[in-house]
Chains A and B, each alone.
Chain A
Amino acid sequence: MTAESQPSAAALDGQLLGRLDRRRPGLLVGSLASGALALVFIYCWGYQIANGIGVTGINRPVFWGFYIINFVFWIGISHAGTLISAILRVTKAEWRRPVTRSAEAITLFALAIGGLFPLIHLGRVAIFYYMIPYPNSRMLWPNFRSPLVWDIAAITTYIIGSALYLFLPLIPDAAVMRDRAAAGLKKRFYAVLALGWRGTAQQWHSLEWGIRILAVVIIPVAVSVHTIVSWDFAMTQTPGWKSTIFGPYFVVGAIFSGIAVLMIAMALLRRGLALERFLTDRVFNNLGLLFVTMSLVWGYFTFAEHLTVWYSGDLFEKNVHHVLLHGDFAVPFWTMVVVNLVIPVAVLSFPRGRRPLPTALVGCGVLVGMWLERFLIVVPALSTPRLAYSIGDYMPSWVELGIMIGAVGVFACLYFTFTQLLPIVSVWEMREGWRHAGSGGESGQPSEAAPTSAAASPVPGGGAA
C-alpha cells in the first residue's frame, strides 16, 4: 500500500461517479409521472383492441391517420442518436463523449415507440405476425413487394442495430456499476448486463473494433429506414404521395427533427448534469449552424416538391396542392413553414441565436413543425382522392389523441428509468477523453493538474483521438 495517490485522476472520476451514486429524486418523480402518462397509452390501446379500430377518427377515404403520422414522426426522432453518435464517432469529434449515450438511448426508445405505431394502426393487431416470414401451417409468406414488408425488414434491422449499438459501449459501464455496487440484487443486475467484462486489453481491442464497425454500418441503415418509410407513400399512385423526392425529403426531415431533439436534450443535459465544460458554447454554435443548414435544405426540398406539382398542372395533384396551400390545410401548412424555416433561419443565423436556450426553443418549434409536416403528408392526400365524390374529412378521436400523448409518456418513462439505472454519460469514454486531453505526461492520466483545471482542459473538438 505504498502508492502516492493521484488526487487529480481520482477527483475527476469522483465527480463523474459521484453523480452516479447520488440519489436523484427528480428522476424518480419523472419516471412516475411519465409512467402515469404511459398508462393512458395502455388504456387507450386496450380500449381500441377491445372495441375495434373504429374508435379512431379514420374513415373512408382517410384510411391512415394519427398512428401513421406518429409512426413517421418517432422514426424521424430516432435519427438523433444515429446522427450524433455514429457520425461524430466516425469523424472522431471529441465533444461527442458526454452525449453519445443519451443520443443512442433516444434512438432506441424512439424507435421502440415508432415501431409500435404501425401495430396500433392495424385492424387486427392480434395477427400482425402474418407479415413476418417464417414457415407456417398457412402455407403463406408475406408479400415482399409490399413496402410494409420492407418497413419490417428495415425497422427490425435498425432497432436491433441501435439496441446493440447502445449496448456495446454500455458493457464496460455496466461493469463499473457492478464492481461498485454492494453485493445483492443490484450487483447481480449489473453483473448480467456486464457479461463478465473485466477491461482486459483484448476486450477493449475487440470492443473498439465492434463500435467502429457498428458506427459505420448504422448510418446507411438509418438512411434506408427513412427512405423506406417514405416509400410507404411514394410507391403508391396516390396524388400528393407519388413523388421521387420523398426518399431524400424524408431522410432530410428525419435528420432535421433528430437535430431538434438533440438540441433540446443537450441543453437539458448541460444544465442538469453541469456539463458546461464539455458541451461548450462552441459546440452549440457548430450544431446550430448544422441545424440552420438542415432547415434550409428542408425548405429547399419542400419548395422543390410543391413547385413541380404546381407547375405540372396535373388535375389530381393540383387538387391536393390546393387544399394544402390555400384550402382546409393552409393554416397548418404555413405554420409549418414558419416554425421549420422562417424562425430557425431568423434565430440561428446570428451567433447570439446559437446558444443553448434559443437553439432548444427553436428545436421545440421544429418538432411541432415536423409533426405537422407528416400530418400534411398523410391527411390531405388521402382526403382528396381522384374521384371527387369521395372527398373526405378527418378528425382524430380521443383514443388517437390519448395514444399520441401516452406515447410521449412511454418514451419519457423509458428514458428516465434508463437514466436512473445506467450512466447516461459514458464513463469509460469520458475517461478515455481525459487521457487524450491530458497530453502533458506520457502516462495519459491527467496527472498533476488540479481537478478543476483538468476537467476544463478537454476542449471540445480539440481532441487528439
Chain B
Amino acid sequence: MTRWGMAIDLDRCTGCEACVVACAAENNIQTVGEEQAREGRAMHWLRIERYYEGEFPNVRTRFMPVLCQQCGAAPCEPVCPVYATYRNPEGLNAMVYSRCIGTRFCANNCPYTVRVFNWFDAEFPAPLDSQLNPDVSVRPGGVMEKCTFCVQRIQAGKDEAAQEDREVADGDIRTACQQSCPTKAITFGDLEDPDSGVSKWAESPRAFSLLGDLDTRPGVVYLSGSEWREPAE
C-alpha cells in the first residue's frame, strides 16, 4: 500500500512563497482580490506562516509552510454529512467537490485551519483563463477545497509508470510546491516505502508533526533543528 507523505525542512525554508504561487497556478485556485483577501477569504491551499521572535532590532523570523496535513485520523472527515471529504486508500484526504454542499463543518474542525471555501463562483478573467490547468476542475461557489497533494500529478505519475509497465519510483511524482522550492525544502513520496526520500527525512531526529499531541497522524512531517517545534502563542 501507498501512503503519500510530505516532509518540509523548516531550516531550509526562506519564506519566498514560490510554493504558494506554484500551488495556485497548478491547482486553478481562485484569485479573490485585495478586498476579499482582507476579509480573510484568500484561498491559498498553502500558506507561509510567519512568526517573529525577539525585540526590534534583534528580531528573528521563522517561516512555517502550512498546508493540509493529510491526516491519518482526520478531524474533518467524520463531521462531513455527505462524505464530500473522505480518506482514500492511498492516505489522501480526498475532496469530492460535486458532493460538497458547503456546511463548512470540516473547516471548523480542522486544527490547522487549512481548508478554504469558495465564497463566490470562481472568475478567471482573460488572460488568466488560458493558463488554467486542464487536469484540475474549477470549483464552483459554495464548495470547500484544500490541498490535494497535487492528486492530478500523482495520477499522471501512476499512469506513466503503468504505461511503461513498472512501479512508481521514488521521485517520479513531484508536487507543484516541491518543484518550485528554490532551497529544496520540500520532499514528497511514499511514507510506506522505507527507502523513499520522504521516509528518510521523516526518520530524522529533527522531525516533528505539527500539533502532534492531537494525534491526527499527519502525512506531513516538519524538520527543524531549533528548539522551536510549535508555533509561538
**Contact, chains A and B (beta carbon distance below 8 A):** yes
Binding site for B on A (CB under 8 A): 51-54, 57-64, 118, 121-125, 127-128, 130-131, 138, 140-143, 145-149, 152, 232, 235-238, 315, 319, 382, 385-390, 392-393
Q: Give every chain A residue within 8 A of B51 (Cβ-Cβ).
A: 388-389
The number of residue pairs between A and B whose CB atoms lie closer than 8 Å in the complex comes to 145
A141–B144 Cα distance when bound, in Å, is 19
A121 to chain B minimum Cβ distance, whole angstroms, is 7
CA distance A319 to B103 in the complex (A): 26
| In the bound complex, CA of A64 to CA of B116 (Å) | 13
* A52 touching B102 in the complex, CB below 8 Å, given contacts A142-B82, A143-B82, A387-B113: no
Q: A interface, by DSSP: helix, strand, loop or mixed? A: loop
A54-B120 Cα distance, complex, nearest whole Å: 6
List 7 A-B pairs, minimum CB-CB distance, nearest first.
A123-B102, A123-B142, A54-B119, A59-B40, A389-B49, A63-B104, A124-B142
Do A236 and B101 touch across chains, with their CB atoms under 8 A apart? no
With contacts A130-B101, A236-B75 taken as known, whether A63 is within 8 angstroms of B108 at the C-beta atoms is yes
In the complex, are the beta carbons of A146 and B36 less than 8 A apart? no
* B129 touches A (CB below 8 Å): no
Contact A60 B107 (CB under 8 A): yes
What residues on A are CB-neighbors of B41 within 8 Å? Answer: 54, 59-60
Q: A143-B81, A386-B112 are known contacts; what are 6 more A-B pairs with Cβ within 8 Å?
A: A59-B119, A123-B103, A123-B142, A123-B143, A385-B113, A386-B211
Asked if A237 contacts B214 (CB within 8 A), the reply is yes
On whether the beta carbons of A124 and B82 are closer than 8 Å, the reply is no
The one of A52, A58, A127 in contact with B101, judged by C-beta atoms closer than 8 angstroms, is A127
**Cβ of A146 and Cβ of B78 under 8 Å apart?**
yes
Q: How distant is B86 from chain A, measured CB to nearest CB, in Å?
A: 8
Q: Is the CB of A382 within 8 A of B108?
A: yes
Chain B 110-135: CB-based contact to A (< 8 A → 1; otherwise 0): 01110111111100000000000000
Chain B: CB-nearest residue to A128 = B101
Q: How far is the CB of A49 from chain B (nearest CB, A)?
A: 10
Between-chain CB contacts (< 8 Å), 25 pairs: A52-B121, A54-B41, A63-B104, A118-B103, A123-B101, A123-B142, A124-B100, A124-B142, A138-B99, A141-B83, A143-B82, A145-B78, A147-B79, A148-B79, A148-B103, A152-B81, A235-B79, A236-B75, A236-B109, A237-B75, A237-B109, A238-B111, A386-B111, A387-B211, A389-B50
Docked-complex contact A236 and B108, CB < 8 angstroms: yes
The answer, yes or no, to whether B232 is at the interface (CB within 8 Å) is yes
Looking at the assembled complex, report how far the CB atom of A410 sits from the nearest CB atom of chain B, in whole angstroms. 22
| Chain B interface (Cβ < 8 Å from any Cβ of A) | 36, 39-42, 47, 49-51, 64, 66, 75, 78-83, 99-105, 107-109, 111-113, 115-121, 140-144, 211, 214, 231-233
A52 to B141: give the CA distance in the assembly, Å.
7
| Residues of chain A within 8 A of B107, CB atoms compared | 60-61, 63
- Contact status of A124 and B81, CB under 8 A, knowing A60-B41, A237-B75: no
Q: Residues of A contacting B116 with CB < 8 Å?
A: 60
Among A58, A140, A146, A386, point to the contact of B99 (Cβ < 8 A): A140
Across-interface contacts of A53 in B (CB, < 8 A)? 102, 119, 141-142
A123 touching B79, Cβ below 8 Å? no
Contact B231 A124 (CB under 8 A): no
**Which residue of B42, B117, B232 contacts A123 across the interface (Cβ within 8 Å)?**
B117
Q: Which residue in chain B gives the minimum CB-CB distance to A236?
A: B109
By a CB distance below 8 angstroms, the chain A residues around B102 are 53, 122-124
Most buried by A among B81, B101, B104: B81
